[in-house]
């Protein structure tokens, strides 16, 4: 497993909000190690036994927290992310619709502080049998040795569910986010899976728009020895049409599914034509 393990001690920013409270309850039911929540003005209260603090600084003084998951609304997400990045090692930003310039500032600060940021606009991270920092439905995941990395939350669920039904468990599943500007890209996660003794195969789920998959193909060719199976969503998408994510838009011949698939195949990746092919490709490795 990567990023989320037995040593991860997480706080929830925005724990008292509608989304924060709902998903905190779900994470606790999955035995995730949620040690605190942060909502300014709510310090001294608790949520289902989880103490709430006014700030991350106060949380650090009272707990051994080292990670954060952010459910703060988009207008306030940058401030929340900066506070997390200043004090913690891992930050997962669930929030959607964060302005691009805010995301750029967040990522620049994270790079300066050498902090791992997942997202924004991500379903999060799940390491089966250990816990989750995210919003994914836990019943579709199972413990195993296949690492899953995806730009699409929905396809993460679909692929994990098919793997589980086929008796193929997962080490860690990560949604890197569907926005144009994200914290951690395919190559960084691919390398973590490459270095992880608990991961034997990798599934990479991409989509149209941008050149993230082409960059990943180059990285796989040069650095990854473990078998990689990939699927690219949006093969039939019309040019100029945004498909689901802010980052999933093709202009001219840039970012089309065919070019991504060809680049991955050239790098030795087993490319699935449809999501349901992934299980057989994994089995045949």
Would residue 238 count as lying in a domain?
yes
Annotated binding site for substrate, which residues? 157
Confidence check: pLDDT of 43 > 90: yes
93 and 160 assigned to the same domain: no
Looking at the fold, whether 238 and 271 belong to one and the same domain comes out as yes
Model confidence pLDDT, tens digit, residues 217-228: 999 999 999 999
Based on the domain organization, do 141 and 192 belong to the same domain?
yes
pLDDT at 256 (0 to 100): 84
* Mean pLDDT, the chain, whole residue set: 93
**Residue after which a domain boundary falls, among 118, 146, 170:** 118
At residue 253 the predicted structure's pLDDT band, cuts being 50, 70 and 90, is: low
Residues 44-71: b if buried by 16+ CB within 10 A, e if exposed: eeebeebbbbeebeebbeeeebbbbbbb
Share of the chain above pLDDT 90, in %: 86
pLDDT at residue 251, rounded to an integer:
52
**Is residue 178 predicted with pLDDT exceeding 90?**
no
Q: In sequence order, which residues have a C-beta less than 8 Å from that of residue 105 and are 6 or more positions away?
A: 78
Report if pTM > 0.85: yes
Q: Is residue 4 part of a domain?
A: no
Residue 244 has pLDDT above 60, yes or no: no
Q: What is the DSSP secondary-structure string of 190-219?
A: HHHHHH-TT--EEEEEEESSSSHHHHHHHH
Domain count, the chain: 2
Q: Are the beta carbons of 8 and 90 closer than 8 angstroms?
A: yes
Q: What is the DSSP letter of 251?
A: B
Q: Which of 182, 140, 137 is nearest to 163 (CA)?
A: 140
- Looking at residue 234, what is its pLDDT? 74
247 falls in which pLDDT band (50, 70, 90)? low
Evaluate if residue 238 carries a pLDDT over 80. no
101: annotated active-site residue: no
pLDDT one-digit tens code per residue, 129-174:
999 999 999 999 999 999 999 998 899 999 999 999 999 999 999 9
| Residues listed for the chain | 285
| Among 87, 97, 139, 245, the one annotated catalytic | 245
**89, 118, 147 — which closes off a domain?**
118
- Give 285 or 101, the one with higher predicted confidence: 101
Band the pLDDT of 99: cuts 50, 70, 90.
very high
Interacting residues of 235 by C-beta distance below 8 A, sequence separation 6+: 257, 258, 261, 273
**Residues annotated within a binding site:** 16-19, 42, 94-96, 157
| Distance (Å) of CA 115 to CA 3, 49, 87, 92, 184 | 12, 28, 9, 11, 10
Residue 121, both tokens: 């606009």
User: Same domain, yes or no, for 147 and 254?
Assistant: yes
**Res 240: pLDDT:** 57
pLDDT of residue 165: 97
User: Which tens digits make up the pLDDT trace of 27-40?
Assistant: 999 999 999 999 99
* Tens digits of residue pLDDT in 199-216: 999 999 998 888 899 999
Query: Are 108 and 150 contained in the same domain?
Result: no
Pair 106, 30 in one domain:
yes
Structure tokens at 228: 């990689």
What residues make up the domain containing 45?
Answer: 10-118
- Show which of 118, 147, 172 is a domain's final residue: 118
Same domain, 213 and 250: yes
Q: Would you place residue 242 in the very low, low, confident or very high pLDDT band (cuts 50, 70, 90)?
A: low
The pLDDT, as a whole number, for residue 250 is 52
- Cα–Cα distance for residue pair 254/257, rounded to 1 Å: 9
């Amino acid at each position: 497993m990567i990023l989320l393990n037995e040593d991860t001690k997480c706080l929830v920013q925005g724990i008292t909000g509608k989304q924060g409270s709902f998903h905190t309850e779900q994470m606790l039911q999955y035995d995730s190690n949620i040690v605190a929540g942060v909502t300014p003005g709510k310090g001294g209260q608790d949520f289902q036994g989880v103490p709430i603090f006014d700030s991350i600084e106060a949380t650090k003084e009272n707990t051994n927290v080292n990670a954060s998951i952010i459910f703060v609304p988009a207008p306030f997400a940058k401030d929340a992310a900066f506070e997390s990045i200043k004090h913690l090692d891992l930050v997962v930003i669930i929030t959607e619709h964060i302005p691009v310039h805010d995301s750029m500032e967040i990522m620049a600060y994270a790079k300066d502080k050498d902090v791992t940021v997942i997202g924004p606009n991500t379903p999060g991270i799940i390491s089966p049998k250990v816990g989750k920092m995210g919003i994914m439905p836990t019943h579709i995941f199972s413990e195993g040795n296949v690492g899953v990395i995806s730009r699409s939350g929905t396809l993460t669920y679909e692929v994990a569910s098919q793997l589980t039904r086929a008796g193929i468990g997962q080490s860690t599943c990560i949604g890197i986010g569907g926005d144009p500007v994200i914290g951690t890209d395919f190559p960084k996660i691919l390398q973590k899976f490459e270095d992880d003794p608990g991961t034997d195969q990798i599934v990479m789920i991409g989509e149209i728009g941008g050149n993230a998959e082409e960059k990943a193909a180059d990285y796989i060719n040069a650095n990854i020895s473990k078998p990689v199976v990939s699927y690219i969503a949006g093969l039939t998408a019309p040019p100029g049409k945004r498909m689901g994510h802010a980052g999933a838009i093709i202009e001219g011949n840039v970012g089309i599914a065919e070019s991504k698939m060809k680049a991955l195949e050239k790098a030795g990746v087993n490319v699935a034509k449809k999501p349901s092919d992934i299980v057989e490709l994994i089995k045949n490795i």
